[in-house]
Every structure is written in C-alpha cells, then in structure tokens.
Amino acid sequence: METLSENACFGGTQGVYSHASQSCACDMTFGLFLPREASDGPVPVLWYLSGLTCTHENAMVKAGAQAWAAEHGIALVFPDTSPRGDDVADDEAYDLGKGAGFYVNATQDPWAPHYQMWTYITEELPKVLDHGFAVDLSRQAITGHSMGGHGALTMAMALPGRFKSVSAFAPISHPTASEWGRKQLTAYLGADESKWIGHDATLLMQENGFDGPVLIDTGTQDQFIDLLNPEALAQAIASRRQQATLRMQPGYDHSYFFVSTFMEEHMAFHADALYA
C-alpha cells in the first residue's frame, strides 16, 4: 500500500492511499479519515459510497463529514466508485464504465475482468483497513449518495449483521425499474433480470429488510428524482413495517450542497448505532 497524502484534519488525519487490488485487477485509491481517538486504539467505521462520475475525492472534499466524524470518534472510508487504469474498460456515457461501477460484480464482457466492486467494497478493502489501520470492524455503518446510496442500501440488506445502521442521500432506490439501473445492470450482469434482484434496494427491502435503523433523505427539487424513484422504496418500507426514517427535504437538489447540509444529522444517527 502506498500513502499518497496525509493531512491533519479536525484533530485527526485525512489520508489517501493506493493499493494493488486483486478483485479489480488494478490499482485502487481510497480516502480514510481517522479521528484523534484512533491513536489510542481501534475506532468504529462509517463507509461512504459516492455516486456517478465521482472518485474517492468528491465526498472527502465536499461532504463536510470529517468535522462530525471527529466529534463522534468515527473513522470515515471513502472508496472509489469503479476500477481505474488504461486497461480498464470504459464507455463514452457518463453513467457506464469508469466512475459508474454501480457496486456490483460484473459477469459480462468487457466489464468482468475489472468491475468487481461488490467484492472490493465488502471483502477486499475491509481486509486492507483491518491490517493497516486502527479500525474496529465489529462496529461498522454505511451510507452513500445517489449510486452510492444504492450501494449502501443493497449491501446493508444483503449482508445481515455486517452494519449497525444504514443511511442514504438521494439513493437510486429501484434500479430495475429505472434508466439509472436497467442500462447498467444489463451491461454488467446480462439480460437475465433474476440476477439483478440482489442489487435493487426496493426488492431487497421487500424480501429481506434491514435489522437496524434506516435514514434516507431526498430533496424535493432533485433534478433526477424520477430516476431515483423514492416512492417505490417508501412503499416497500411501509409494507414491511421496517424501522426507518424517510424525509423529503423541501427545496434541495442532488448536489453536495444537499449532502453537506444533512451530514451532521446522518453522522449523529450512525454514532447512536455504533456506540449503542
């Protein structure tokens, strides 16, 4: 693992690191904020999964999360959204290929050799963190924005017991019924829609639910709200009688101005679960 940068940040350290990924067959970069408490021993972890077109850097710089993570003594992990490199397949469209991994393990060419983001996030990167940093993986929570909200919700529900809490900012809630989903799931997983079910938060909510608290915020002026389909997930939550808080925030759009506005509340929400 290579240290690309480390900066003092709210009494802790904001680092950026690169390592050779076996699952993605390329070098991967991630950001990690460690609060002051990590110098004394392992601290709980909050994963932040970013959205379309993002790298590890977007949320690390724009979300304003480190101040609140420092207040609660929580580590923040900012993974990349896709594999990178000259040999990695890409597409001219912004919503497929690099920056648009959708947190799945691709089975179709030309994506399969590198686009193994589910395994990378859920298996490989946790091992990297566990062996290199003072993090307590028995206390994990997960959040994300847009495509990352989709990833956070699906991982939380598909991996029972892994995460103490899950939240999302403007998640892609029902990708099997959205153009932000059907296109990518077809490309990465093939035309058999039965293989898509495990990557749809609405369908997973109907089937599995989540054994813990859920918080979801979406802006009423989100320019992509029809692609996000928050009402489908709301109906699934109501039908399952899932413990959850869903909020439509008046006037807010899809930007990091929206994310940063409600980050403090999301951090406090996860802190309550991680320190329960």
- Tell me: the pLDDT tens digits for 137-186? 999 999 999 999 999 999 999 999 999 999 999 999 999 999 999 999 99
CB 63 within 8 A of CB 144: no
Q: What pLDDT shows up at residue 91?
A: 97
- 62 Cβ partners below 8 Å, 6+ apart? 256, 259, 260
Active site residues: 146, 222, 254
Helix-then-strand count for the chain, H and E: 10, 9
Enter the DSSP assignment of 26. E
Reply yes or no: is the peptide bond before residue 110 cis, omega within 30 of 0.
yes
Question: Nearest to residue 151, comparing CAs of 170, 133, 164, 137?
Answer: 170
Instruction: Write out the chain's pLDDT in tens, 276 residues.
Output: 999 999 999 999 999 999 999 999 999 999 999 999 999 999 999 999 999 999 999 999 999 999 999 999 999 999 999 999 999 999 999 999 999 999 999 999 999 999 999 999 999 999 999 999 999 999 999 999 999 999 999 999 999 999 999 999 999 999 999 999 999 999 999 999 999 999 999 999 999 999 999 999 999 999 999 999 999 999 999 999 999 999 999 999 999 999 999 999 999 999 999 999
At the fourth CATH level, the homologous superfamily of domain 2-274 is: Alpha/Beta hydrolase fold, catalytic domain (3.40.50.1820)
Residue found by looking up tokens 């994963």 in the block? 47
pTM for this entry: 0.97
Q: What pLDDT shows up at residue 81?
A: 98
- 9 Cβ partners below 8 Å, 6+ apart? 33, 66, 70
Do strands 26-34 and 75-79 pair parallel, antiparallel, or not at all (unpaired)? antiparallel
Q: Round to whole Å and give the CA distance between 170 and 120.
A: 23
Contacts 24+ apart (CB under 8 A), 251-255: 251/219, 251/220, 251/221, 252/219, 252/220, 252/221, 252/222, 253/219, 253/221, 253/222, 253/223, 254/146, 254/170, 254/219, 254/222, 254/223, 254/224
- Counting Cβ atoms within 10 Å, is residue 131 exposed (0-12), middle (13-18) or buried (19+)? exposed
Q: What pLDDT shows up at residue 226?
A: 97
Enter the DSSP assignment of 155. H
